[in-house]
Structure 1
Amino acid sequence: MSGVIVTGPPKAAAEDVEALARFGVATVSEAMGRTGLLGRGIRPVQQGVRVAGTAVTVLGWPGDNLMIHAAVEQCGEGDLLVVTTTSPSTDGLFGELFATALQARGVRGVVLNTGIRDTQELRDMGFPAWARAVSAQGTVKATGGSVNVPIAIDGQVIHPGDVILADDDGVVIVPRRRAHAVALVARAREDKEARARAAFLDGELSLDRYGLRGKLKQLGVEYRTYEEYSAGEET
Structure 2
Amino acid sequence: MNDHAGAPAPDAFREIPPTTLADVLGRGQVMDLGIRPLWSPTPRVAGPAFTVRCPPGDNLMVHAAIHRAAPGSVIVVASGDLDHALAGGNVCAVARRRGIAAFVADGLIRDLAEVRAMGFPVFARGVIPFPGRKAAVRPHNVDVRCGGVDVRAGDVVVADEEGVVVVPRDRQAEVLRSARTKLAKEAEEDLDAWEAAHRLRIDALLRDGGVEGGLDGALDG
What percent identity do the matched residue pairs reach?
34
Equivalences for 1:73-88 in 2 at 5 Å? 73-85=67-79, 88=81
Question: What is the aligned counterpart of 1:133 among 123, 126, 149?
Answer: 126
> If the length of structure 1 is used for normalisation, what is the TM-score?
0.82
- Give the structure 2 partner of residue 3 of structure 1: none
- Give the structure 1 partner of residue 160 of structure 2: 167
Please tell me whether the aligned partners of residues 20 and 28 of structure 1 are also in contact (alpha carbons under 8 angstroms). no
- Give the structure 2 partner of residue 216 of structure 1: 206
Please tell me whether the aligned partners of residues 12 and 161 of structure 1 are also in contact (alpha carbons under 8 angstroms). no
Q: Does residue 33 of structure 1 match 2:23?
A: no
Structure 1 counterpart of 2:204, one-letter code: G
Q: Does residue 101 of structure 1 match 2:94?
A: yes
- Give the structure 2 partner of residue 200 of structure 1: 192
Larger Rg: 1
Please tell me whether the aligned partners of residues 25 and 166 of structure 1 are also in contact (alpha carbons under 8 angstroms). yes
* Pairwise CA distance, 1:180: 1.2
SS in 2 for 1:222: coil
CA distance in 1 between counterparts of 2:204 and 2:130 reads 56
Change (3 A) 1:224 1:54: closer
Please tell me whether the aligned partners of residues 55 and 161 of structure 1 are also in contact (alpha carbons under 8 angstroms). yes
Change (3 A) 1:97 1:25: same
SS in 2 for 1:56: strand
* Pairwise CA distance, 1:12: 8.9
Number of equivalent positions: 216
Question: What is the aligned counterpart of 1:65 among 52, 59, 76?
Answer: 59
Structure 2 counterpart of 1:161, one-letter code: G
CA distance in 2 between counterparts of 1:177 and 1:26 reads 20
CA distance in 1 between counterparts of 2:67 and 2:210 reads 61
Structure 1 counterpart of 2:208, one-letter code: Q
RMSD across aligned positions (CA) = 2.7
Q: Does residue 144 of structure 1 match 2:132?
A: no
> If the length of structure 2 is used for normalisation, what is the TM-score?
0.87
Point out where structure 1 has 5 or more consecutive residues left out of the alignment. Answer: 1-10
Structure 2 counterpart of 1:18, one-letter code: D
Deviates more, 1:75-84 or 1:186-195: 186-195
CA distance in 1 between counterparts of 2:120 and 2:135 reads 27
- Give the structure 2 partner of residue 43 of structure 1: 36
Q: Does residue 188 of structure 1 match 2:178?
A: no
Please tell me whether the aligned partners of residues 64 and 93 of structure 1 are also in contact (alpha carbons under 8 angstroms). yes
